[in-house]
Amino acid sequence: MPFEKKILIKNDYVTFGKKKYHIGSKKAFEILSKIWLRSGWDTKYVYSFSWMGRPIIQLPDDLIRIQEIIYDVKPNVIIETGIAHGGGLIFYASLLSNFKKNFKIIGVDIDIRKHNKKAIKSHFLFKNIFMYEGSSIDLDIYKKVKKNIKSKDKVLVVLDSNHSTDHVLKELELYSRLVSKNSYIVACDGIQKDMKNAARSKPDWNSNNPLTAIKKFIRQNKNFKIMKNNIYFNESKLNENYVTYWPNAYLKKLR
């Protein structure tokens, strides 16, 4: 997300290059959001939250948005690749516990660290959580995950492990098979594309990222559609979600 144009904020106006926008305009919000996202990335803002006792490395905005999706779809199985501290597993379990008596949260990670595994297993929501250690694109791991799913289950998948194009594309190809009709597979952290020169970034991120994988997957698979404006309640001036690490992440299964 390089800012090659001069940005000036003065007297309720945002000047971007040669153009000026009122601070209350949609365009000004978009510009300021991009600045905020980049600054937040460099300062590791998302590394400052927890959910019911477990660290959760996500933007609060993204958590609220996926909560809206989950309540609408009402899955009884959520699969998350990429466990880290386990905050995501606990988050999804806490949501489903409010409207599902029987449900499963399935997590996959190539390295579940001992202290995290211990903390997750000791959490009161663990009874509905299943964890598998190994690569999410390992066919043996995939088969273990699949064994948990029954024909009548409603499944939603969240991909948040390795964010390289090849890995995400393989995840999409595998786990999309498990997604129920009118549910979603969510490919997180497409913001990587815009963070080429940011802290902790890699030089190839402008092409090697989840968004590239999503585009390739959608071209090959007409059963899914990118849902860009998944805003359930909106009395704002905005018509899309600018504050997100997950652009174009929500792929809805149509058939």
Kindly state the percentage of the chain with pLDDT values over 70.
98
Can you tell me the mean pLDDT for 135-150? 98
Q: 133 has which bridge partners? A: 109
Whether residue 228 has pLDDT greater than 90: no
Whether residue 150 has pLDDT greater than 90: yes
Please tell me the distance from the alpha carbon of residue 200 to that of residue 106, in angstroms, as a whole number.
Answer: 29
Encode pLDDT of 87-120 as tens digits. Answer: 999 999 999 999 999 999 999 999 999 999 999 9
Alpha helices (H) in 97-209, listed in sequence order: 114-121, 139-146, 165-175
Whether residue 1 has pLDDT greater than 60: no
- Two tokens, residue 51: 């959910």
Whether residue 2 has pLDDT greater than 60: no
Can you tell me the mean pLDDT for 224-239? 92
Confidence of residue 249 (pLDDT cuts 50, 70, 90): very high
Encode pLDDT of 22-66 as tens digits. Answer: 999 999 999 999 999 999 999 999 999 999 999 999 999 999 999
Encode pLDDT of 163-189 as tens digits. Answer: 999 999 999 999 999 999 999 999 999
pLDDT of residue 5: 78
Query: What is the CATH code for 46-253?
Result: 3.40.50.150
Give all strands (DSSP E) within the chain, no chain letters. Answer: 7-10, 13-16, 19-22, 50-51, 54-55, 77-81, 104-109, 129-133, 155-159, 184-187, 224-226, 250-253
pLDDT of residue 230: 80
Comma-separated ranges of CATH 3.40.50.150 domains in the chain:
46-253
pLDDT of residue 192: 96
Number of other CB atoms surrounding residue 175 within 10 Å: 23
pLDDT of residue 3: 61
Whether residue 229 has pLDDT greater than 90: no
| Model pTM score | 0.96
Give all strands (DSSP E) within 17-119, no chain letters. Answer: 19-22, 50-51, 54-55, 77-81, 104-109
Please tell me the distance from the alpha carbon of residue 39 to that of residue 31, in angstroms, as a whole number.
Answer: 13
Confidence of residue 195 (pLDDT cuts 50, 70, 90): very high
Q: Which residues of 96-134 are buried (b: 16+ CB within 10 A; e: fewer)?
A: beeebeebbbbbbbbebeeebeebbeebebbebbbbbee
